[in-house]
């Protein structure tokens, strides 16, 4: 099953400008099992399931939650899409599997077991053990992959049809947008590109809320084969209510499926929440799993720094988001790529500057650091003192290019000069970028 496919789907079907790329966003992302629990509270149909983090917990779940099931779905829990088609670094293929009797020999090895429920669950224990604590690599994790700390054991449903459903925020209509497609699954991006007419988009008036007419349009786009139309409309309304009341920025269900007993079920889900709503969504934000996030971004958030990790070679420390973007652009113009976005803001302390340097130097890909400060509220002498103190705490193994301009610039330059540090100074942004690119590849 595909998670996070809305990024590409929106890119292709809604003609969002610019090339989609994988990067961290300023929003909360929760695990599938957490999303299922939340949807269940809102009356959304979800498969029965339980998250476990150890083999003993797997055994207990089988006994307590699934005593009469002959098959279960085992889903690795990481905050990235493409799990089903991923590969563990241990060699195990796929992060989502159905436990079937006819696969016992393949998973258990040379021992051939009979297809009884006992042996099926023996295989499940072995299989979960092969997932837990292992690193799963998908097309969204990068080659480093992510550690699977939990697996989600789910009831295996008898699905007769798989569709796609999502709610996101649309800049054009300035409100929620529901996206539906009568086909779902791992090929949704390809389908959206080849058959865009299959994608139904229903904008919702945020002041009026979702109407029966809106819900009917969505259900028509899903084109269920066996599920009751009225019941399906109610499920759509409940999902919209969840989206609004929990400050979601994304609610994606792929697939939303029909079962053999004529139910519409959210078989897999991805939910993101607006970080600006953390103060009023404390229960939801307590679900954050920092072990699944970029450790540099976790450290930056703790230091109240605006940091986003990228894949380049030149680390950047800048004050002001606009100047930070311009700095990244000119590095790219000079033929190289920035390693990060880092805005220290207009009122950073020396301690924050020191922390910023620690984060920048923790990235093994960084070959040079470019400090670009235009002092207004942020004073150049504070930045300079922070750089000097950072050098005392962090072993600087890469060249540092510094461009200072603005408030207290003379004091700042004096502090750097008297420190005895080997720094490369620049007169303007273009000069700074040129020097940073040059020293990074000498």
pLDDT grade for 438, boundaries at 50, 70 and 90: very high
Average model confidence (pLDDT) for the chain?
A: 84
More confident residue, 116 or 274: 274
pTM for the whole structure: 0.75
Give the pLDDT confidence score for residue 187 in this predicted structure: 65
Q: Hunting for tokens 């139910």 — which residue is that?
A: 263
Q: H-helix or E-strand containing 52? A: strand 49-52
Lowest mean pLDDT among 20-29, 199-208, 222-231, 269-278: 20-29
| Count of C-beta atoms within a 10 Å radius of residue 39 | 21
Indicate which residue of 32, 252, 258, 355 is catalytic: 252
| Count of C-beta atoms within a 10 Å radius of residue 321 | 12
Judge whether 340 is annotated as a binding position.
Answer: no
More confident residue, 24 or 366: 366
Give the pairing type, strands 72-77 and 150-155.
antiparallel
Mean pLDDT, residues 164-186: 91
User: Residue 47 corresponds to which tokens in the numbers above?
Assistant: 């498969």
Judge whether 95 is annotated as a binding position.
Answer: no
List the domains of the chain with CATH numbers. 48-155 (3.30.1490.20), 158-286 (3.30.470.20), 294-440 (3.40.50.261)
Give the pLDDT confidence score for residue 2 in this predicted structure: 44
Lowest mean pLDDT among 60-69, 246-255, 311-320: 60-69
Tell how far CA 344 is from the center of its chain: 23
Give the pLDDT confidence score for residue 304 in this predicted structure: 85
Judge whether 254 is annotated as a binding position.
Answer: yes
Q: Is the pLDDT of residue 139 over 50?
A: yes
* CA–CA dist 34, 272 (Å, integer): 11
More confident residue, 141 or 247: 247
pLDDT in tens, 106-134: 332 223 333 444 555 666 777 777 889 89
* CA–CA dist 3, 357 (Å, integer): 34
Indicate which residue of 33, 69, 152, 164 is catalytic: 164
pLDDT grade for 390, boundaries at 50, 70 and 90: confident
Active site residue 164: yes
Please state, in angstroms and as integers, the Cα–Cα distance from residue 403 to each residue in 226, 335, 383, 390, 399, following that order: 66, 20, 11, 17, 13
DSSP H helices in 14-116: 32-41, 55-64, 104-108
Judge whether 102 is annotated as a binding position.
Answer: no
Judge whether 378 is annotated as a binding position.
Answer: yes
* CA–CA dist 306, 352 (Å, integer): 11
* CA–CA dist 54, 128 (Å, integer): 8
- Paired residues of 88 in beta bridges: 136
More confident residue, 164 or 349: 164
Give the pLDDT confidence score for residue 31 in this predicted structure: 94
- What residues contact residue 57 under an 8 Å CB cut-off, 6+ apart? none
* CA–CA dist 296, 386 (Å, integer): 19
* CA–CA dist 234, 210 (Å, integer): 11
Give the pLDDT confidence score for residue 123 in this predicted structure: 66
Mean pLDDT, residues 172-185: 91
Judge whether 82 is annotated as a binding position.
Answer: yes
Contact 356, 350 (CB under 8 A): no
Give the pLDDT confidence score for residue 25 in this predicted structure: 47
Q: Is the pLDDT of residue 437 over 70?
A: yes
Give the pLDDT confidence score for residue 121 in this predicted structure: 62
More confident residue, 110 or 253: 253
Active site residue 307: no
Contact 53, 132 (CB under 8 A): yes
Give the pLDDT confidence score for residue 280 in this predicted structure: 95
Q: Hunting for tokens 């079907």 — which residue is that?
A: 13
Lowest mean pLDDT among 14-28, 89-103, 249-263, 310-324: 14-28
Lowest mean pLDDT among 28-37, 169-178, 190-199, 280-289: 190-199
User: Residue 356 corresponds to which tokens in the numbers above?
Assistant: 């910023």
Give the pLDDT confidence score for residue 136 in this predicted structure: 94
Mean pLDDT, residues 64-77: 86
pLDDT in tens, 8-58: 444 333 333 223 233 344 578 999 999 999 999 999 999 999 999 888 888
Mean pLDDT, residues 295-303: 85
DSSP per-residue codes, 293-354: S-HHHHHHHHTT-EEEE-S-SEEEEESSHHHHHHHHHHHHHTT--BSEEEE--SS--HHHHH
Tell how far CA 262 is from the center of its chain: 33
User: Quick one: which of 357, 358, 385 has its CA closest to 371?
Assistant: 357
| Count of C-beta atoms within a 10 Å radius of residue 378 | 21
Percent of the chain residues topping a pLDDT of 70 = 87
Please state, in angstroms and as integers, the Cα–Cα distance from residue 407 to each residue in 161, 373, 379, following that order: 64, 10, 5
User: Residue 341 corresponds to which tokens in the numbers above?
Assistant: 């976005």
Give the pLDDT confidence score for residue 118 in this predicted structure: 53
Q: Hunting for tokens 């805005």 — which residue is that?
A: 343
Q: Is the pLDDT of residue 102 over 60?
A: no
């Amino acid at each position: 099953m595909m998670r996070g496919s809305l990024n590409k789907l929106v890119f292709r079907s809604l003609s969002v400008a610019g090339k989609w790329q994988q990067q961290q966003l300023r929003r909360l992302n929760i695990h599938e099992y957490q999303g299922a629990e939340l949807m269940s509270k809102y009356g959304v149909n979800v498969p029965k399931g339980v998250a476990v983090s150890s083999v003993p917990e797997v055994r207990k779940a089988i006994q307590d939650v699934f005593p009469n099931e002959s098959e279960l779905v085992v889903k690795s829990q990481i905050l990235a899409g493409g799990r089903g088609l991923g590969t563990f670094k241990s060699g195990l293929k796929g992060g989502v599997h159905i436990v079937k009797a006819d696969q016992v020999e393949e998973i258990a090895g040379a021992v051939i077991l009979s297809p009884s429920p006992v042996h099926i669950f023996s295989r499940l224990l072995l299989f979960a053990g092969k997932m837990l604590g292992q690193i799963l690599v998908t097309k969204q994790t990068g080659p480093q992959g992510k550690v699977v700390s939990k697996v989600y054991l789910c009831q295996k449903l008898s699905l007769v049809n798989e569709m796609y459903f999502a709610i996101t925020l649309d800049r054009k209509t300035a409100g929620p947008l529901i996206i539906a497609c009568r086909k779902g699954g791992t090929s949704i991006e390809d389908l959206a590109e080849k058959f865009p007419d299959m994608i139904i988009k229903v904008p919702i008036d945020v002041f009026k809320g979702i109407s029966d007419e809106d819900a009917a349009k969505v259900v028509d786009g899903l084109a269920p084969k066996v599920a009751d139309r009225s019941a399906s409309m109610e499920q759509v309304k409940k999902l919209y209510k969840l989206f609004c009341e929990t400050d979601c920025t994304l609610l994606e269900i792929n697939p939303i499926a029909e079962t053999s007993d004529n139910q519409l079920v959210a078989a897999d889900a991805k939910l993101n929440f607006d970080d600006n709503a953390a103060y009023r969504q404390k229960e939801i934000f307590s679900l954050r799993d920092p072990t699944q996030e970029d450790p540099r971004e976790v450290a930056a958030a703790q230091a109240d720094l605006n940091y986003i990790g990228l894949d380049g070679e030149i680390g950047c420390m800048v004050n002001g988001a606009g100047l930070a973007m311009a700095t990244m652009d000119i590095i790219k113009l000079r033929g190289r790529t920035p390693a990060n976005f880092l805005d220290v803001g207009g009122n950073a302390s020396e301690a924050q500057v020191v922390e910023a340097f620690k984060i920048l130097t923790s990235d093994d890909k960084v070959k040079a650091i470019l400090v670009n400060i235009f002092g207004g509220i942020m004073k150049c002498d504070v930045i300079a003192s922070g750089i000097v103190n950072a050098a005392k705490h962090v072993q600087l193994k890469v060249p540092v290019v510094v461009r200072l301009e603005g408030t207290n610039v003379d004091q700042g330059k004096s502090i750097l000069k008297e420190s005895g540090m080997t720094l490369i100074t620049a007169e303007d942004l273009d000069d700074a970028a040129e020097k940073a690119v040059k020293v990074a590849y000498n």
